Amino acid sequence: MHDVAAHAAHHAPPTSFIRKHVFSLDHKVIGKQYYALALVAALVGMVLSWFMRIHLAWTNAAIPGLQLLSPNGAPGGVMTPEYYLQLMTMHGTIMVFFVLTTAPFAAFGNFFLPIQVGAEDMPFPHFNMMSFWVTFVAFLVLMSSFFVGDGPTLGGWTQYAPLNAVGSVAGPGQGAGVVLWAISIALFCVGQLLGALNFIPTTLDLRVKGMSLMRLPLSAWAWFITSCMGLTAFAVLMPACILVILDHVAGTSFFVASNLVMNDQMLPHSGGSTLLWQHLFWFFGHPEVYIAIIPGIGIVSHILITNMRKPMLSQRVLIYSMGALAVLSYMVYGHHMFVSGMNPFSSLAFSFPTLVITIPSSIVVLIWTFSLYGSKLRINSASLFALGFISMFVSGGVSGFFLAQPSIDIMLHATYFVVGHFHLVMGVAAMFGIFAGTYFWFPKMAGRMMNETLGKIHFWLSFVGAYCIFMPFHYLGMAGNVRRYSTFVDDFLQPLIPVHRFITIAALITGAAQLIFLYNLIHSRFWGAPAPDNPWEATSLEWSTATPPPWDNFGGKHPVVYHDPYQYGVQSSVGDYVMQTSPEQVKTEHEEK
């Protein structure tokens, strides 16, 4: 580590292509690399979901080309039930880890956290570079499981025991597939731990003069809180993955109970606990949900304030609420295990904090709503997606009140109700946060403006599409439609097939609408109108530097901060706002201290 710190100096920008664009130490390049990784992962995950949706709606329909991916898993293009589960597992793993964690936290956080605190770079650039490349290797390892043996694991992104630990007897992909999955996730944990080791000291130690903690923008606070969670949550998942690998390769049986019979075979393992995996996994897994959403909360607040032209009702309460979400997220993890055979008293103990965690969530939403009330919101792609984020967060969050209660959850847990819940509140909401951040920060990241018309079309198609896809999930769940089934052959599910077809068509259209975003992104990157330094008339530090920012972020100068982050709705020489770096005094300053 001392060696790494020794190279922290930024004496001169690199000149070679590899140092500039591949093994770069620059947090801005690393942020873009994370973004590109998330983009590729999101496309892969989306295509996998298309395959699954088509199969659910038209069971025996052949999907052209799928047999090329797996001749055994999809003979003639028709996927087997096992292959459906394999695609589902990969969809979940890719989306949760390589999209929802990397894009809002690692990508935007890497690019903008150092700039927003006024630093030249992260304190340990070599750790930062390793963080990305370890994550990249983790992604390659996960992808490789498509092509190894009998394909990727079919255990779902939660990889429940004992199926994750007994080997190929549990089905295709449960041998080499699980081992590759566990190696990939363990590597991913290392990458995120290295990231957290950079994010926290950046926030605490590298702030410029005048930048007190309460003067940090809300997005910086969100990344800081998220990195604190990442530091503790990924450190638990990593040993859990290593124990799974040991169960596979070293003959241990941490997660396999004794005398287990599977496919008419008595397994040689003895003595482990299947529930242990769930405890270890969900102790990570629930904080992970908030690792995905808290950066979104910060990004959306940051964007809304800029477009409302006034600060939130209370910056301080918003920050405390994010902190409360982070702390509580560790105490509620057992609500994923109400149907796992825990002691019913444990369910009660986990149900209570789960209901308590709705309080900070509701406070956040109320602050947004009442701050928006009466404001003259500037409508652009970024602010629309920020509003969409709130809508998805509320719609998905409301069903959390139901699921928090064991007596109701026991009915709904294994149904599409839960799938609808988490896709809205964590999947789509976090995606909307990513989109909002992209439309907002793209000018600074790429130096060019994105096309607003295409952005608005993209928003409306995504917004309506997401509701068309995920709202019916709740209805399906209440009608008893079980999840993780590849085909619905039971009589009572037949009337629901048209709903599935509707969802599939909506998913295909909404997915295709993302191509508009992709086109907009690539086209604007090369041919967009050049972006000014501060296109949104915003106040925080990232808008005070050049577009795109120079190698050391502020061109050899150290900015000095004079104001709280969101001085909008004031009268100054430049308009209705004062930048944090402007020494100008204004009459009605918003003070949070």
**What does the binding site for another protein look like in residue numbers (CB under 8 A)?**
1-2, 5-10, 118-120, 123-124, 193, 196-197, 200-201, 204-211, 213, 231-232, 234-236, 238-240, 243, 246, 250-254, 269-273, 276, 279-280, 283, 558, 560
Provide, rounded to whole angstroms, the least separation between the CB of residue 133 and another protein: 19
Provide, rounded to whole angstroms, the least separation between the CB of residue 413 and another protein: 23
3-state class of 361 per DSSP? helix
Provide, rounded to whole angstroms, the least separation between the CB of residue 534 and another protein: 22
Give me the helices (H) in 404-451, please: 406-412, 416-422, 429-446
User: Among residues 193 and 322, whose Cβ is nearest to another protein?
Assistant: 193
Burial label for 344, CB within 10 Å (0-12, 13-18, 19+), is exposed
Q: Which residue has the tokens 């049986």?
A: 253
Provide, rounded to whole angstroms, the least separation between the CB of residue 54 and another protein: 40
SS (H, E, C) 285-348: HHHHHHHHHHHHHHHHHHHHHHHHCCCCCCHHHHHHHHHHHHHHHCCCHHHHHCCCCCCHHHHH
At residue 474, what is the residue type?
A: H
Tell me the C-alpha distance between 42 and 93, whole Å.
11
User: Among residues 200 and 411, whose Cβ is nearest to another protein?
Assistant: 200
Q: Which residue has the tokens 């993955």?
A: 241
User: Among residues 88 and 236, whose Cβ is nearest to another protein?
Assistant: 236
User: Among residues 99 and 211, whose Cβ is nearest to another protein?
Assistant: 211
Provide, rounded to whole angstroms, the least separation between the CB of residue 8 and another protein: 5
C-alpha to C-alpha distances, 272 to 227, 497, 542, nearest whole angstrom: 33, 40, 52
Provide, rounded to whole angstroms, the least separation between the CB of residue 309 and another protein: 29
Provide, rounded to whole angstroms, the least separation between the CB of residue 119 and another protein: 7
Provide, rounded to whole angstroms, the least separation between the CB of residue 563 and another protein: 15
Rounded to 10°, the helix 497-527/27-57 angle is: 150
**Torsional sign, CA 489, 494, 498, 503:** negative
Provide, rounded to whole angstroms, the least separation between the CB of residue 168 and another protein: 18
Provide, rounded to whole angstroms, the least separation between the CB of residue 370 and another protein: 32
Provide, rounded to whole angstroms, the least separation between the CB of residue 182 and another protein: 15
User: Among residues 452 and 552, whose Cβ is nearest to another protein?
Assistant: 552
Tell me the C-alpha distance between 585 and 564, whole Å.
12
Number of CB atoms found within 10 A of residue 112's CB: 27
- Report CA 304 to chain centroid distance, whole Å: 20
Provide, rounded to whole angstroms, the least separation between the CB of residue 19 and another protein: 17
275, two tokens: 């529930």
C-alpha to C-alpha distances, 163 to 37, 123, 177, 255, nearest whole angstrom: 30, 42, 12, 9
347, two tokens: 């369910």
Separation of first and last alpha carbons in the chain? 37
3-state class of 85 per DSSP? helix
Beta bridge partners of 262: 265
Sequence-distant (≥ 6) Cβ neighbours of residue 91 within 8 angstroms: 45, 48, 49, 52
Asked whether the beta carbons of 431 and 299 are under 8 A apart, the reply is: no
- Report CA 418 to chain centroid distance, whole Å: 18
User: Among residues 9 and 47, whose Cβ is nearest to another protein?
Assistant: 9
C-alpha to C-alpha distances, 534 to 8, 31, 200, 449, 538, nearest whole angstrom: 29, 20, 27, 11, 7
Per-residue DSSP letter, 448: B
User: Among residues 334 and 433, whose Cβ is nearest to another protein?
Assistant: 334
Provide, rounded to whole angstroms, the least separation between the CB of residue 287 and another protein: 11
Single out the residue of 399, 404, 401, 467 nearest to residue 432, CA to CA: 467
User: Among residues 282 and 368, whose Cβ is nearest to another protein?
Assistant: 282
User: Among residues 138 and 384, whose Cβ is nearest to another protein?
Assistant: 138
Q: What is the CA radius of gyration of the chain?
A: 24
User: Among residues 6 and 261, whose Cβ is nearest to another protein?
Assistant: 6
Provide, rounded to whole angstroms, the least separation between the CB of residue 242 and another protein: 8
Question: Can you list the pairs that 66-70 forms with residues at least 24 positions away whose Cβ atoms lie under 8 Å?
Answer: 69/146, 70/146, 70/151
At residue 383, what is the residue type?
A: S
Sequence-distant (≥ 6) Cβ neighbours of residue 263 within 8 angstroms: 169
